[in-house]
Amino acid sequence: MNIAIFSKNVNPEHEHLKKMLIEKLIKGNHKVSIHQNLISIIQHNKIGFQVFEKPEQLSKSVDLFISIGGDGTFLESVRYVRDTNIPIAGINLGRLGFLAYIAKNEIEYFVNCINNKTFETEKRSLLAFQSEYNPFSIFPYALNDITIQKSDATLITVTTLINGIELNKYWSDGLIISTPTGSTAYSMSAGGPIVSTDCKAFIISPIASHNLSVRPMVVPDNAIIELSIKSRSENFVATLDAQHSLMTASSVIKISKAPFCINIVRLPGHNFFATIRNKLMWGVDVRN
C-alpha cells in the first residue's frame, strides 16, 4: 500500500511515536511518503522516502493519508487530499480529537488494521463557499464549518436566505454554518445540536445572538444558504475551517454542499456514538 504521512510540526515529546509508526509501516512492506516536516525524524535512515510539501506534490498513487496531530492537523490534511477520494486516518496527539480519534496506544492496532485491510471508510460532506470576491479560491471548502464573524467590537447583521426565502436577520457576533462533522466543534460551543455524521443536514448557529428567541436551525444539505452582511465596520471575518480572511461588508456569500466528499478511516470497534461518549464523557455519573 502507498501511504502518505503528514504532520504540521515535530514535537520532541511525540517524535518516538512518529518514528514507530513509520518503521512499522516499512516493516509491513508499505511504500511511505512523508511530509517535509518529518524529514528530521528519518534523516538518519538510509531508506529513501518520497517527500511532499504542497498538495500538488502528493502522488496520485497514494492509497491512504495519515494525519498525525490533532483535529487542526486533520483539517489541514483535507486540503492535501481534496477530491482525490484518498482515505484520511487521524492519529491524535492533541487534546480532544473528534476527527483524529486514533489514540497513541492504538498505533500498533492501527498498523495491523492496515496490514490486514480491516479498516473501513465513511464519507463526510463538506461546505462550498462562493462569493464574487472569493479569498479562498484555491480551496473554497470546509469539512467542519464556515463562519462569519465581526472584525471589531460592533455587532454585525447577517441576513440569511434558504433557497431564496428569508430565514432571519441575525444581530450577533457572527454566524456558524456547520456540517454534521463540525457539529461537535464551534457550533456545539455556540449552543448548536450534535448531529450524527450520517445525517444529510447543515446547522446554522448564531454566535452570541442579541435576541433571546433566536436558536440554532437545522436545514437539509441540498439547501443554498445566502448571507448578506451589514456592519458599522467596513469589514467582517470569514473562516473556512482553519482558513480565514477579512472581507468587505458589502459581500454576498453563498454556501452549499461541496461536489465531493472526504473519506475518513474508521477502525473496527470505533463509531460516532462511542466517540461522543468517550470524548464528551457522557455517562460519567456515580449512578453508572
Residue 229: helix, strand or coil by DSSP? strand
- Placement of cell 479562498 in the chain: 136
Give the separation between CA 99 and CA 248, rounded to whole angstroms.
32
Give the separation between CA 148 and CA 269, rounded to whole angstroms.
37
Residue 152: helix, strand or coil by DSSP? coil
Catalytic residue among 63, 71, 173, 198: 71
Cell numbers for 243: 482558513
Q: What's the farthest any 2 CA atoms get from each other in the chain?
A: 64
Whether 152 is catalytic is: no
The beta-strand segments (E) located in 249-286 are: 252-266
- Placement of cell 465596520 in the chain: 233
Residue 166: exposure state from Cβ atoms within 10 A (0-12, 13-18, ≥19): exposed
Which residue numbers are catalytic? 71
